[in-house]
Amino acid sequence: ESPWLHLPLIARLKKDCQAIFPVAEYAYTTIPTYPSGQIGFMVCSKDPKADVKNPVRTWSKEEEDAKCRYYSAEIHKASFVLPKFAQKALE
């Protein structure tokens, strides 16, 4: 869901996920065909030490160029950077 359209729902969903998973973070990406141009998702882990905001594996530049048209380590990290209003609502 989009923080521009569904922030109360996202906040509730994050709380529900936190009740089940030790790590529960909201991230989003841009999808031009989606209303508001953004879609979000919860990234959760059963491992309390998991750092979901950073990629688990890394590729060389050549591998990333060959395998990925959109994804990169930078895009992964940036997906968790929220606008201030959304960040505050999800704290």
Is residue 67 domain-resident?
A: yes
pLDDT at 90: 96
Number of domains the chain is built from: 1
pTM for the whole thing? 0.88
pLDDT tens for 6-49 read 999 999 999 999 999 999 999 999 988 988 899 999 999 999 99
Range of the domain at 15: 7-89
The residue type of 24 is A
Is residue 1 domain-resident?
A: no
- How large is the greatest C-alpha to C-alpha distance in the chain, in angstroms? 41
Is residue 31 domain-resident?
A: yes
- CATH number, domain containing residue 49: 3.40.50.150
pLDDT at 58: 87
pLDDT tens for 69-88 read 999 999 999 999 999 999 99
**Residue with tokens 């160029």, as numbered in its chain:** 65
pLDDT at 34: 86
